[in-house]
Amino acid sequence: MLTRIFALLMAVFMAAPALAQDGPLRLTITDGVIEPLPFAIPTFEAETSGSEQLAQDITRLAAQDLTNTGLFREIPASAFISNPAGFGTPLQFADWRAINAQAVIRGAVAVNGDQVSVKFRLYDVFTGEELGEGLQFAGTQQGWRRMAHKVADAAYSRITGEGGYFDSRVVFVSESGPKDNRQKRLAIMDYDGANLQYLTDSSSIVLAPRFSPRGDRVLYTTYESGFPRINVLDVASVGRQQVNTAEGEMAFSPRFSSDASRVIYSLTNGGNTDLYITDIASGQHTRLTEAPSIETSPSFSPDGTQIAFESDRSGTPQLYIMPIGGGESRRISFGDGRYGTPVWSPRGDLIAFTKQNAGRFHIGVMRTDGSEERLLTASPLDEGPTWSPNGRVLMFTRESLGASGTSSLYTTDVGGLNLRAVPVEGGASDAGWGPLQP
């Protein structure tokens, strides 16, 4: 029941009309504003002595993951009628119905040396049943945040019928220094800004890192050699090497194909920028475009058969799609203004983009045929969207203007709701959102 009705909510959410939902879950959508689903998450039981703090921390982080989506509202513990009994005991559904909790998450945490195990169960209060089977995650104390994210992913996934995205990482460009002497270095962090690590130093410009489909490697543009070239970096070892592209003055804007066998990128020769693909194993290069215009920001469709890219062949930058195996490209953006940085949704249904119009920048989405364009954000300078692994949230760069302008990362959901700053120390730009971790 919970799943079915929430799925309806998500479907409606895309179009965001006014709707009042009768029935047990009492979801109300009015003027595009969602009434978040109320849930309770009593502090997880500490099964071993000394695990109380960890149980508390994991509970709070899982709750934060869910509430930060804007789709869930946590009922505070002060409203609980009875103290929740132990993890293994039956849930007193009447007590949770009385406070209008529609879902209850219970869990237990045990610590054995450095090993932590987390058990969790999810209940649909109105049907009085458990939603899915109980789950158990094991990890190290240091990796406790991942276990909290996994709990939240499981709850989110069971309630919405969608994949989760909390146990994922983001690679980005960390920025420091004034605008006319900006230092840039690659960094990686959890999706929520925690566990930041630097992957390169700031001795040369780095741009637009993008994960491999499995999240083990990162492609990025670097001026390390003095001229823009494409590097691939192994996340675990932080070892990096230059990708052997076709010959040109500059190579930039790389992205992996969905099977990671190929790299697509822009190559510039004689001031003309075109798209190329290099097969990593064979080293074979294929030129995809031959126009005198700028072709850049290519992105594969999830099935690998098509690419979306940006071109100014019409006179202004616009979005195009073309089959990878050859054939005509077709323009898909026709609204006012300029369009760039198309990124194919991992679900395949939408293209996210940057739009410039009337002095403002927007992050938007449209269907792959260009229909149903929706602008999700507006600011003096927004750009570079990247999709959450489930295709429900976009992270992007927002830059403030003027001499003291700095870059920050923000997220919005595909409905254009729930705009949030990602807490990162210092400036941050060019996020590339990785896959759900195994």
| Residues at the interface with another protein (CB under 8 A) | 178-182, 184, 204-205, 207-208, 223-228, 249-250, 252-253, 266, 268-273, 294, 296-297, 310, 312, 316-317, 338, 340-341, 354, 356, 380-381, 383-384, 399, 401-403, 405, 430
Q: Smallest distance from the beta carbon of 222 to another protein, in angstroms?
A: 9
Query: Residue 14 or residue 250: which is nearer to another protein going by CB?
Result: 250
Residue nearer to another protein on the CB measure, 21 or 406: 406
H helical segments located in 99-238: 144-160
CB of 230 to another protein, least distance (A): 12
Q: Is the dihedral of CA 220, 222, 227, 232 positive or negative?
A: negative
Q: How far is the CB of 36 from another protein (least distance, A)?
A: 34
Nearer to another protein, 67 or 268 (CB): 268
Q: Tell me how far, at minimum, the Cβ of 235 lies from another protein, in Å.
A: 22
Tokens of 120: 């969790």
Provide the terminal-to-terminal Cα distance of the chain, rounded to the nearest Å. Answer: 28
Nearer to another protein, 117 or 204 (CB): 204
Q: At its nearest, how many Å lie between another protein and the CB of residue 277? A: 17
Nearer to another protein, 356 or 412 (CB): 356
User: Which of 271, 16, 285, 41 is CA-nearest to residue 154?
Assistant: 41
> In residues, how long is the chain?
438
Q: Shortest distance, CB of residue 363 to another protein, whole angstroms?
A: 11
Per the CB < 8 A criterion, the answer to whether 343 and 387 are in contact is yes
Instruction: Tell me the C-alpha distance between 365 and 8, whole Å.
Output: 20
Cα 164 off chain centre by:
10
Pairing state between β 72-74 and 129-130? unpaired
Nearest residue (CB) to another protein, 356 versus 388: 356
Tokens 């823009």 appear where? 228
Tell the smallest beta-carbon distance from residue 286 to another protein (Å).
20
Radius of gyration of the CA atoms of the chain, in A: 23
Residue 106 or 210 with smaller CB distance to another protein: 210
DSSP state of 326: S
CA atoms within 13 A on the CB side of 300: 24
**Of 88, 159, 77, 172, whose CA–CA distance to 124 is shortest?**
159
Minimum Å distance from CB 71 to another protein? 30
CA 433 to chain centroid, in Å, comes to: 5
